[in-house]
Amino acid sequence: MLRLHDHITSGNGYKVRLLLTLLGLPFARVEYDVDRGATRTPDFLRLNPNGRVPVLDVEDGRCLAESNAILCYLAEGTRFLPSDRFERALVLQWLFFEQYSHEPNIATLRYWITHRLMDDGRREQVEGKRRWGEAALAVMEGHLGSRRYFVGERYSIADIALYAYTHVAEEGGFDLTPYAAIRRWLDRVASEPGHIPITQS
């Protein structure tokens, strides 16, 4: 059985849980207390030397790290990844956008705030992360102004990846009120058959 090494409030973990559930794939979940270094132990570093959840144990200890790589692996050959070569590349474009321009700003501020990790060093970074997070939201808003989903007008792993931390952006102090197209898209994703909330394992 697929085995997901995970932390329940992680949006990166949620991406994988959501897709596994939409695909109807059974999986076991192993929970790690990230605040207490549970992903930096020798045992965990054998699963992922980069020390981060989620990690998917595909079978017999063959492990895959990086949430968006896991999404691609699971979505291969399903309706969540287009078969057209250019559309597949556009899905990847948004997955890399998510990890480079969105997650390090929006998810990181949420993490620092909700896990009560704000200290002086981090406080100095808040303004920059706020500005770049808003810039990422503006890019999404512009794109969604004339579209229902990110690629090919169909629900794909690009939407799943971007939904994960956008729908909880307010926990990181981002106000989504000005982003009408994003809010409509969030409702659309949440209305997809089989949708589960972030805290459901």
Instruction: Give the interface with its own copies as residue ranges (CB under 8 A).
Output: 49-50, 58, 62, 64-70, 72-73, 76, 85-86, 88-90, 92-93, 95-97, 99-101, 103-104, 121, 124-125, 128, 139, 142-143
Please report how close the Cβ of residue 193 comes to its own copies at its closest, in angstroms: 26
Q: Which is nearer to its own copies, 76 or 175 (CB)?
A: 76
Minimum CB distance to its own copies, residue 72 (Å): 5
DSSP codes joined into one string, the chain? -EEEEE-TT-HHHHHHHHHHHHTT--EEEEE--GGGTTTSSHHHHHH-TT--S-EEEEETTEEEESHHHHHHHHHTTSTTS-SSHHHHHHHHHHHHHIIIIIIIIIIHHHHHHHTT---HHHHHHHHHHHHHHHHHHHHHHHHHTT-SSSBTTB--HHHHHHHHHHTTGGGGT---TT-HHHHHHHHHHHTSTT---TT--
Q: How far is the CB of 85 from its own copies (least distance, A)?
A: 6
Q: Closer to its own copies at the Cβ: 86 or 177? A: 86
User: Cβ 32 to its own copies, closest distance in Å?
Assistant: 18
Give all strands of the β-sheet with 55-59 in edge-to-edge order. 27-31, 2-6, 55-59, 62-65
Shortest spacing between CB 188 and its own copies, in angstroms: 21
Q: Which residue number, 85 or 194, has a Cβ lying nearer to its own copies?
A: 85
> For its own copies, which is the closer residue by CB, 24 or 49?
49
CA pair distance 130, 148, nearest whole angstrom? 26
Q: Which of residues 157 and 189 has its CB atom nearest to its own copies in the complex?
A: 157
**Minimum CB distance to its own copies smaller for 76 or for 170:** 76
Q: Shortest approach of its own copies to residue 47 CB, angstroms?
A: 12
